[in-house]
Amino acid sequence: PGLRRFCVVIRPQVEDTGKMAAVAGMVRGPLRQVSGLLKRRFHRSAPAALQLTVREAINQGMDEELERDEKVFLLGEEVAQYDGAYKVSRGLWKKYGDKRIIDTPISEMGFAGIAVGAAMAGLRPICEFMTFNFSMQAIDQVINSAAKTYYMSAGLQPVPIVFRGPNGASAGVAAQHSQCFAAWYGHCPGLKVVSPWNSEDAKGLIKSAIRDDNPVVMLENELMYGVAFELPAEAQSKDFLIPIGKAKIEKQGTHITVVAHSRPVGHCLEAAAVLSKEGIECEVINLRTIRPMDIEAIEASVMKTNHLVTVEGGWPQFGVGAEICARIMEGPAFNFLDAPAVRVTGADVPMPYAKILEDNSIPQVKDIIFAIKKTLNV
């Protein structure tokens, strides 16, 4: 700004090359000055925002923690030479070698048990399940060994371990590979359970999970791995952490509170954008942590908006939304509700394989809009 646009045209009228060189020299001087000024102004401008996929964010978080603490290591099926089934651990084996990035046999109970034992011995394992559907093979290790040991040892034996991998429904993988385990693991005392949505969540939560002295279950989403988000400047720091147990208000609003975790957060923001054009302002809360749940943030929002809708990809019975509704009913925010709280959930059926049935079994943006309008009676 402030610089005049100009163009210099040299039209030689004579064949004298010496005169032409002199004219060119006269032009080059001012041009160099302008170029230098532009460069200085450019370098003073704010740095371009960094775009990072959720996959890259988790990889970056693990890489930073592996570098920071030699007690941290990763194990699971195909995490090393193959770079991970979903390429989340890409490049880590080449950087840290066989002792820190370990390929295991296809035995969840076996390598989860090894990871729990390593955590009890003072290491900090990251145990990857290829999907959390396969964690059922190791649930005795996760619940009876990892979650309960600190309590049963009267606080003498911590188990600093992270169980991570994709959770919930993917696409076209049918019933045995399409369950959300947020309510399952959130039910168990002794565990911390986190559920990231975007790249900022993913990086901040994996780093906090690795540093935590308790067993942490990190429920990622396969369909979000390749989605790129803008990473804020503070999240690009190696010291960036997201506190476990704190939700985030993704969008401020005054008419209704919408609470979600993982992929449905994006659906809620899409629904909120549509409804905003109709004069309905939704406050969208990204839970980030399932256990311990930030019920205070939800209560404060409900006291402001007087309405509540919860959204999740899991089944309705005993789900995360059911817990939120119960906590609101039992707490101070209940008296502020102007209408019953409404849950939007996955269908109460095993996941169908056919795509049209699958789409109707998972909450869509239109379902969220319908639930919000129903709650507001519009």
Catalytic residues: 108, 177
Q: Which residues contact 224 (CB under 8 A, 6 or more apart)?
A: 54, 197, 198, 262, 263
Q: Burial level of 25, CB count in 10 A (0-12/13-18/19+)? A: exposed
The DSSP secondary-structure symbol of 279 reads T
Give helix 199-211 / helix 54-68 axis angle, nearest 10°.
Answer: 30
Q: At 135, list the tokens.
A: 């964690």
| Greatest Cα pair distance in the chain | 97
Q: Which residues contact 174 (CB under 8 A, 6 or more apart)?
A: 351, 352, 353
**Alpha helices by DSSP H, the chain:** 17-44, 54-68, 92-96, 108-120, 139, 149-152, 182-186, 199-211, 264-276, 295-305, 320-330, 355-361, 365-376
Q: Could you give the angle at the alpha carbon of 306 between the alpha carbons of 300 and 309, nearest 5°?
A: 90
Report the distance separating Cα 181 and Cα 193, nearest Å.
Answer: 10
Q: Which residues contact 272 (CB under 8 A, 6 or more apart)?
A: 251, 253, 258, 281, 282, 284
Report the distance separating Cα 165 and Cα 132, nearest Å.
Answer: 6
Report the distance separating Cα 237 and Cα 17, nearest Å.
Answer: 56
**Can you tell me whether residue 159 is helix, strand or coil?**
coil
Report the distance separating Cα 241 and Cα 237, nearest Å.
Answer: 9
Residue with tokens 């460069």: 39
